[in-house]
Structure 1
Amino acid sequence: MTDTTRSALPRRIVVTGASGNVGTALLRRLAAHDPRPDIVAIARRIPPARDPYAGARWCSVDLADPDAAARLRPVMAGADAVVHLAWGFQPSHRRDYLGRVALDGTRAVTTAAAGAGVAHIVHMSSGAVYSRGSYGREVDETWSTDGVPSCTYSVDKVRAERFLDEFETDPGAPLLTRFRPGFIGQFVAGNGLERYVLPELVPSAITDHLPVLPMDRSLAVPAVHSDDVADAIVAALEQRVAGPFNLASPAPVRADDFAEPFGCPIVPLPHRVLSIVAEATWRLRLQPVEGGWIDLAYNTPLLDCTRAARELGWTPHHTGPDAWAETVRGMRSRAGTDSPVLHPRTARQRMAALVERGPIDHRIPS
């Protein structure tokens, strides 16, 4: 069995995507560490200097920009480790932009880190990289990683991992750790999630009054709490263990778990029908979520996390259903943080953004 005795946390850590869901949880976790490391946080939009964002030194970089690597290299000079969390979910109709954030952004971060002499990179991948064929059953990190071709998010996560496969063959490449979590949730991420999936013209209060929820009862989604993901990242930074690690609670989110926080009954509907409807309404610009996300939910296998437990000493403190229910509570209570990514938007603010810059699935974030 691998020794899971903790060693010292790196002195200086650079975190990309530090203002997002996992980044916020990681900053909270690092702030509580004694001694507290020097944190350089990278985001496209810098949050106000209030907790948990106040303890970091911030740098604004859009990873989709052609000069991102050149801008990142001096920022990473002197860093001991880089945690790459940044990713794009919207605008879903701007495939070019999402691709640049995903693949070009990952290339920029890793090459800049290597050029700056960083010893360790932690990359946030996803269980979405796993191939179809084992739905409802656990797979370990050796399962095929061809993803779900109909889902842009899955395709981009696979492309990033393919690049990393080549990147780490260089004899001088930094140590590389990859995490493959399921759905990641927490209370303060609820409002941000809602903003990504609801059209601007639909009031947020609709989540309080859903009469029914159409879904396929075969649903079984791996899920993990953001704080548990942060714990895994810290363990990897302390122990400097390479390779991929699955992250999920032993209890997945099933159909009844998904519906329970909304307090409404399920109307059974085959997931193929749900995917077709979602794709059609997305193409008609009626809502911002492509049908591939439905395909992903009904094709991603459950995750065997034995390796994380054995080599990192990682044990999740929250169940998958609890992480989902907490996220929905945050959604319904309009929870968030001061981060531009997680900050709650009023109906007026959402309408203003729609009028000024267009719908979220088309506008390039500013």
Structure 2
Amino acid sequence: MKIVVVGATGNAGTAVLRALHQTSEVTGIVAVARRLPDPGVEPYEGCEWHSIDIAAASTSDDAVEQLTEVFRGADSVIHLAWLIQPNDQRELLRRVNVEGTRRVTEAVARAGVPHLVAASSVGAYSPDEARSGGGEPPLRDESFPAGGIDSSHYSVDKAAQEKVLDAFAAEHPEVAVTRLRPGLIFQADAASEVQRYFLGGAMPLQLLKAGRLPALTVPKGLLLQAVHADDIGRAYVAAAVRQVPGTFNICADDVLGPQELADVIDHGRVMEVPPGIVRAALAAAHKAGIVPADAGWLDMGMQVPLMDNSRAAEELGWRPQVSAVDALQELIDAIVEGHGHPSPSLHPRDKDERLVTVTGEPAKAGARSGAGSAPEDGPEDLPEELTKDLLGLYLSDHLTGATAGVNRIERMAEDFVDTPVYADLASLADEIRADRELLRNIIDDLGFPRRPYRQAAAWAAERAGRLKLNGRVVQRSPMTLLLEAELMRSAVAGKKGVWETLRELSPQLGLDEEVFDRLVETSDRQTATLDGVHAYARERALRDDRDTFWD
């Protein structure tokens, strides 16, 4: 069987690829994503990769044409692509999630694919009045209404997606349509993504590594269903192989209530408070930009029905192998450790912990103990011909500039997610962040202080710079992308300079000169990418007849 996976680099997609590789019936895997991963990393290896933007910054005709070509000859298409953030771009989310699904279905029909598996969610369900009545609510099967939760954009879009699938199934009875409605999907590889998308820095669960909370505060009546990513991966593959049409609830057998959450996150001490108080606090934190998740996520968790997963066992031969408690424990442990996976969306929180220094050896344990661990006057064993204080200051200044550069390029990727240059900007953000961490490693391993107050100042200055209006108050200025691309080109040129300098000094510092040759080449490639971004921006930014944010 030839299986195509759309949205193959995310939480579910990564698990589906793992399951496909382990399935004897599968002879070919085609993977589609807007941003491509390293094809040499498990489980992305052994796949035929295609970069396609299904709806964020593409026309319907272009997206359907590209998808149709990729879908030809497939026995089944598994559609997983879904955009969760940014919350404040509601039209973009609906375009990608709902219109994107429509484009996938159209391409499935045009390509003559006999089977489509679509990722729905427990969030598609309407509110269950039994959740507010106290006591243990009943388990609901797939016939429960799927009208969504009005206050949750995720839920509303999942319900709208199901209407697209209803219309497609009615119009194309020759295509078997399968929908999976999973609960929350947990795995260690998704830890950093979960923290970025939902918790942010205001809820640093990694502090649990040092100690526990006095008690876990949760809204009274909160009940959650979850599934381990490996289990949901097996469910998608079972659906693709068996090609059974219909809708299937996918979740572990146990339910996560306040006590179960407290047992995993805390010492079992739990304090239940009225949901309205928690909702008000979450809404305020989200509005202030402290927490990425909005109050709609809580509303969904408090109102959707508890699912009965027996149909999946009967018709797909699927049973969960990991409990919800164990899946949550794995996720929390991984968040504490900053774990992730080398994909565009699952990358670890602390990339520097997964780099080696330019000496070819892992970073020294002492150097990882944090900023300020090196002596203020620098290393004692520096060659006499080098001016120690100037070299330390030079590297610290470049680290300061790199901190501002990382903030800028990450902000650009977030702000221009609805443009054709997003994939380039997002890839650049990953590379430039890794370059910054490598420079930190070099400073640590040479024994120089980082001077963290300088990086803090750079962080604050870059954010203050975001207040410039560029002629617009309540919307993005078309000129912003043009200016930001120019500033980033200058930043990359400066970064190339430090690599050239360190290459020159490599013999005296005991560093690997070839590493800096590659870093200089990488800087040139990054400049070329920014040249392309600038070309796109300058063709649109100063004209009334071209739209900067839509191609």
Structure 2 length as normaliser, TM-score?
Answer: 0.61
The one of 248, 252, 257 aligned to 2:251: 248
**Larger displacement relative to structure 2 (304-313 or 32-41):** 32-41
CA displacement at 1:43 relative to structure 2: 0.8
CA displacement at 1:360 relative to structure 2: 8.8
Contact 2:196 2:292 in 1 (8 A): no
Q: Aligned residue for 1:71?
A: 66
**CA–CA distance in structure 2, aligned partners of residues 312 and 174 of structure 1:** 18
Amino acid at match of 1:40: V
CA displacement at 1:225 relative to structure 2: 1.0
Amino acid at match of 1:236: A
Q: Aligned residue for 1:189?
A: 190
Q: Aligned residue for 1:20?
A: 10
CA displacement at 1:237 relative to structure 2: 1.7
The one of 68, 80, 99 aligned to 1:85: 80
Q: Which has the larger radius of gyration?
A: 2
Hey, which of these two has a bigger chunk of strand by percent?
A: 1
Contact 1:186 1:225 in 2 (8 A): yes
Q: Aligned residue for 2:346?
A: 342
Amino acid at match of 2:121: S
Matched, 1:226 2:229: yes
RMSD: 2.3
**CA–CA distance in structure 2, aligned partners of residues 130 and 155 of structure 1:** 9
Hey, which of these two has a bigger chunk of helix by percent?
A: 2
Partner deviation per Cα, 1:152-189 (whole Å, 9 max, x = no partner): 10000000001111111014551100001111111111
Equivalent residues in 2 for 1:280-291 (5 A)? 280-291=284-295
Contact 1:15 1:82 in 2 (8 A): yes
Q: Aligned residue for 1:43?
A: 33
Matched, 1:279 2:283: yes
Aligned residue for 2:8, secondary structure, equals coil
Aligned residue for 1:160, secondary structure, equals helix
Q: Aligned residue for 2:122?
A: 127
Q: 1:45 and 1:249, CA in 2 relative to 1: closer, same or farther beyond 3 A?
A: same
The one of 113, 116, 122 aligned to 1:118: 113
Percent of pairs with identical residues: 36
Amino acid at match of 1:181: P
Amino acid at match of 1:55: G
Q: 1:81 and 1:351, CA in 2 relative to 1: closer, same or farther beyond 3 A?
A: farther
Partner deviation per Cα, 1:247-266 (whole Å, 9 max, x = no partner): 11120111122233322543
Amino acid at match of 1:241: V
Aligned residue for 1:220, secondary structure, equals coil
The one of 384, 392, 409 aligned to 1:356: 409
CA displacement at 1:283 relative to structure 2: 2.1
Amino acid at match of 2:175: P
Q: 1:351 and 1:41, CA in 2 relative to 1: closer, same or farther beyond 3 A?
A: farther
Matched, 1:168 2:169: yes
**CA–CA distance in structure 2, aligned partners of residues 199 and 360 of structure 1:** 17
Aligned residue for 1:41, secondary structure, equals strand
Matched, 1:32 2:10: no
Partner deviation per Cα, 1:88-117 (whole Å, 9 max, x = no partner): 111111112111111111011111111000
Q: Aligned residue for 2:103?
A: 108
Contact 2:260 2:325 in 1 (8 A): yes
Gaps of 5+ in 1: 1-10
The one of 295, 319, 326 aligned to 2:299: 295
Contact 2:206 2:338 in 1 (8 A): no
Contact 2:206 2:337 in 1 (8 A): no
CA displacement at 1:350 relative to structure 2: 9.5
Contact 1:63 1:100 in 2 (8 A): no
Contact 1:119 1:174 in 2 (8 A): yes
Amino acid at match of 2:282: A
Structure 1 length as normaliser, TM-score?
Answer: 0.90
Aligned residue for 2:249, secondary structure, equals strand
Aligned residue for 1:195, secondary structure, equals helix
Matched, 1:310 2:305: no
Which has the bigger relative contact order, CA under 8 A and spacing at least 6? 1
Aligned residue for 2:117, secondary structure, equals strand
**CA–CA distance in structure 2, aligned partners of residues 227 and 175 of structure 1:** 24
**CA–CA distance in structure 2, aligned partners of residues 54 and 244 of structure 1:** 31
Gaps of 5+ in 2: 132-136, 353-401, 427-551
Q: 1:158 and 1:151, CA in 2 relative to 1: closer, same or farther beyond 3 A?
A: same
Count of residues in correspondence between the two structures: 356
Contact 1:94 1:362 in 2 (8 A): no
**Larger displacement relative to structure 2 (11-20 or 260-269):** 260-269
Contact 1:271 1:295 in 2 (8 A): no
Q: 1:171 and 1:111, CA in 2 relative to 1: closer, same or farther beyond 3 A?
A: closer
**Larger displacement relative to structure 2 (30-39 or 136-145):** 30-39
**CA–CA distance in structure 1, aligned partners of residues 263 and 413 of structure 2:** 28
**Larger displacement relative to structure 2 (209-218 or 94-103):** 209-218
Q: 1:71 and 1:210, CA in 2 relative to 1: closer, same or farther beyond 3 A?
A: farther
Q: 1:207 and 1:97, CA in 2 relative to 1: closer, same or farther beyond 3 A?
A: farther
**Larger displacement relative to structure 2 (151-160 or 224-233):** 224-233
Q: Aligned residue for 1:57?
A: 48
Amino acid at match of 1:56: C
